[in-house]
């Protein structure tokens, strides 16, 4: 088989794949938008979701480290490449055996169907878009291979043949249509899943306790993180490939498990409770030393302990497994939700309803714990249970059962690899030790002595603390600046480096700068 023939056959395979997904994704968009599908009828999103769920910790770390919050885009590109290669192979195989090609094609389709069925909230009806896609795709494959095959069987053929060119053109056209279908279907699905402005206009509770942020807590240095992270810049981490659309009108939160009585509240009831404001810094366990997966804001919510008290927690319970609308779970030690810290059933951040990607309409925020064991977005259930009976989503995937936040500090300015002018150089950043507070921050130039940084006010031990230090006499050349914090219990951050897995990174943040002549 010539390279050219192989190329044509590969094109037919890819066109069949594109046709399948074009029909399936368009159908999925219709299923989500018009038919109220609760699962994941999109085979692309279902396969991606199933893949993410099975991602080992090291791969997740690598993906976050390499692509940051673009990890989902990277996953999409990767899946696209794999699909092109596999369908091209199907096409080439079809030149030898049409039956084998169709068999392999349907096998890949079956994986998609399995993925759709495995997603949270899946119903058999979620399968029809993929089935319809497979029917169309198989027809394209058989017709395309047939077209090429007939031509091949004509004896003594040499130059270009009109029929063959027609097959190639048709396959190309089908491929383009398929890609358009995929794009349109995904757009339908995703916008359908994001909470619209209409449902967001439902109003917020008036907190019975407000926080005051003193001016002395705010940033004083340009380039330093603002004390309150703007919501649109707040990091986002979750396993959701589309943002779950949760309608407050039908949302409820149930307390189940080891309780005296099960309790369920709806949105209207939640808004009637006594909400409070709390400044809490949220951190991801995947954050590397000096990394960006941390943000601070004012949360508004109803204390979790009050809801748990209504249900009556049984004495043997030691964990709450919170579950989100998309099936994700976190296992939180019961004491973190029942002691007097501001563990909230939160409905607002920075005075606004939660954006869809941060958990609209309701999420948990628990000071002192990494997000993966506490900060369930789109929360719908609190199952009171035991660590020896249940585990949160990330625990069987290589992350620790418990995730208290480690004391950390970060240099925001100067940035790593910055060029700064000799003389006075302002060094500034943030430090956090939720539940313990930050008592000191020190900065060191190269191997010099530790110098005390100036600390901004600390309106809450659960919020990060801004700090700055003026390097009085920066001399030309390359230098390293290192920071370390001491928490409210007097313990200084360890310099022993640790990777994020299994329970959070440790080590001191350092940046390299080049000091240039002052002119
Ligand atoms: N439903 C759901 N909630 C979730 C997660 C998730 O994957 N699904 N990830 C958690 C993790 S690991 C973190 S760090 C925080 C991040 O919250 P944010 O995206 O609002 O910053 O959400 C937590 N809540
Ligand atoms: Mo996280």
CB 137, CB 91: distance < 8 Å: no
CA distance 200 to 248: 9
State if residue 238 touches ligand 1 by the CB under 6 angstroms criterion: yes
Contacts of 222 (CB under 8 A, 6+ apart): 413
Q: What is the pLDDT of residue 436?
A: 98
Confidence of residue 157 (pLDDT cuts 50, 70, 90): low
SS3 per-residue string spanning 438-504: EEEEEEEECCCCCEECEECCCCCCCCCEEEEEEEEEECCEEEEEEEEEEECCCCECCCCCECCCCCC
419 within 8 A of 513, measured Cβ to Cβ: yes
Does residue 399 have its Cβ closer than 6 Å to ligand 1? no
Give me 431's structure tokens: 């430090």
Q: Rounded to whole angstroms, what are the CA distances from 200 to 160, 298, 338, 355, 499?
A: 61, 18, 30, 9, 39
| Confidence band of 452 (pLDDT split at 50, 70, 90) | very high
Tell me the C-alpha distance between 1 and 304, whole Å.
68
Residue of 346, 363, 375, 381 best suited for mutating to test ligand 1, as the one with most atoms within 8 Å of CB: 375
Quote the pLDDT of residue 201.
Answer: 45
- Rounded mean pLDDT, 409-414: 98
Q: Please indicate whether residue 374, judged by its CB atom, sits closer than 6 Å to ligand 1.
A: no
Give the tens place of pLDDT for each residue, 323-361. Answer: 999 999 999 999 999 999 999 999 999 999 999 999 999
Mean pLDDT across the chain, nearest whole number? 91
Q: Is residue 518 predicted with pLDDT exceeding 80?
A: no
Q: Whose CA is nearest to atom 9 of ligand 1?
A: 238
Where do the CATH 2.60.40.650 domains begin and end in the chain?
408-516
Indicate if ligand 1 lies below 6 Å from the C-beta of 259.
no
What band does 446 get if pLDDT is binned at 50, 70 and 90?
very high
Cα angle: 76, vertex 80, 86; to 5 degrees: 145
At residue 154, the pLDDT reads: 53
Measured CA to CA, the distance from residue 31 to residue 22 in angstroms comes to 14
Q: Which residue has the higher pLDDT, 172 or 279?
A: 279
CATH of 215-397, one of 3.90.1300.10, 3.30.950.10, 3.90.420.10, 3.40.50.300: 3.90.420.10
Percent of the chain at pLDDT exceeding 70 = 94
Each residue's pLDDT tens digit, 455-473: 999 999 999 999 999 999 9
Mutating to test ligand 1, I would choose from 53, 121, 238 the residue with most ligand atoms within 8 A of its C-beta, which is 238
Cβ of 372 closer than 6 Å to ligand 1, yes or no, is yes
How would residue 146 be classed by pLDDT, with cut points 50, 70 and 90?
Answer: confident
| Mean pLDDT (whole number) for 155-181 | 77
CATH code linked to domain 408-516 = 2.60.40.650
For the stretch 172-231, pLDDT in tens is 898 899 899 888 888 888 765 444 333 444 578 889 999 999 999 998 899 999 999 999
Ligand nearest to the CA of 233: 1
**Residues linked to residue 209 through DSSP beta bridges, in sequence order:** 276
What are the residue ranges of CATH 3.90.420.10 in the chain? 215-397
- Closest-lying ligand 1 atom to the alpha carbon of residue 238: 7
Question: How far apart, in whole angstroms, are the C-alpha atoms of residue 262 and residue 45?
Answer: 34
pLDDT at 189: 80
Read off the pLDDT of residues 226-252 as tens digits, 9 standing for 90 and up. Answer: 999 999 999 999 998 888 889 998 999
For residue range 288-324, list pLDDT tens digits in order.
999 999 999 999 999 999 999 999 999 999 999 999 9
* Residue 191: per-residue pLDDT: 65
Q: Are 27 and 37 within 8 A, CB to CB? A: no
Tokens of residue 496, six digits: 């022993």
């Amino acid at each position: 088989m010539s390279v050219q023939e192989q190329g044509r056959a590969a094109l037919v395979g890819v066109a069949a794949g594109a046709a399948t997904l074009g029909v399936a994704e368009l159908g999925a968009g219709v299923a989500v938008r018009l038919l109220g599908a609760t699962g994941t009828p999109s085979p692309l999103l279902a396969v991606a979701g199933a893949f993410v769920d099975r991602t080992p910790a090291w791969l997740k770390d690598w993906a976050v480290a390499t692509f940051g919050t673009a990890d989902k885009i990277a996953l999409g590109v990767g899946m696209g490449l794999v699909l092109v290669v596999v369908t091209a192979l199907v096409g080439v195989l079809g030149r030898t055996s049409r039956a084998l090609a169709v068999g392999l094609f349907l096998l890949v389709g079956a994986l998609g169907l399995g993925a759709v069925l495995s997603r949270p909230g899946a119903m058999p009806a979620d399968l029809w878009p993929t089935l319809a896609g497979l029917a169309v795709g198989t027809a394209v494959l058989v017709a395309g291979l047939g077209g090429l095959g007939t031509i091949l069987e004509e004896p003594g053929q040499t130059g270009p043949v009109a029929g063959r060119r027609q097959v190639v053109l048709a396959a190309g056209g089908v491929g383009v249509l398929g890609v358009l279908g995929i794009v349109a279907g995904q757009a339908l699905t995703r916008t359908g899943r994001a909470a619209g402005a209409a449902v967001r206009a439902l109003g917020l509770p008036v907190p019975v306790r407000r926080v005051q942020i003193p001016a002395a807590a705010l940033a004083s240095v340009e380039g330093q993180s603002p004390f309150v992270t703007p919501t649109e810049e707040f990091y986002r981490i979750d396993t959701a490939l589309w943002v779950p659309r949760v309608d407050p009108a039908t949302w409820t939160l149930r307390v189940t498990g080891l309780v005296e009585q099960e309790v369920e509240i709806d949105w209207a009831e939640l808004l009637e409770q006594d909400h409070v404001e709390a400044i809490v810094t949220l951190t991801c366990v995947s954050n590397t030393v000096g990394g960006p997966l941390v943000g601070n804001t004012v949360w508004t919510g109803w204390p979790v302990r009050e809801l748990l008290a209504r249900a009556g927690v049984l004495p043997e319970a030691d964990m709450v497994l919170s579950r989100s609308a998309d099936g994700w779970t976190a296992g939180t030690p019961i004491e973190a939700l029942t002691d007097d810290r501001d563990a909230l059933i939160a409905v607002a951040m920075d005075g606004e309803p939660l954006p869809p990607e941060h958990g609209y309409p309701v999420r948990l925020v628990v000071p002192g714990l990494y997000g993966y064991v506490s900060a369930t977005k789109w929360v719908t259930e609190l199952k009171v249970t035991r660590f020896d009976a249940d585990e949160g989503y990330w625990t069987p995937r290589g992350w620790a059962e418990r995730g208290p936040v480690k004391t950390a500090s970060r240099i925001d300015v100067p940035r790593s690899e910055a060029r700064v002018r000799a003389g006075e150089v302002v060094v500034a950043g943030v430090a956090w030790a939720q539940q313990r507070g930050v008592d000191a921050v020190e900065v060191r130039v190269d191997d010099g002595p530790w110098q005390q940084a100036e600390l901004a006010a600390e309106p809450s031990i659960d919020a990060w603390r801004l700090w700055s230090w003026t390097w009085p006499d920066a001399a030309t050349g390359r230098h390293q600046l290192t920071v370390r914090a001491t928490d409210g219990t007097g313990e200084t951050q360890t310099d022993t480096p640790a990777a994020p897995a299994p329970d959070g990174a440790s080590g001191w943040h350092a940046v390299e700068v080049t000091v240039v002549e002052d002119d």
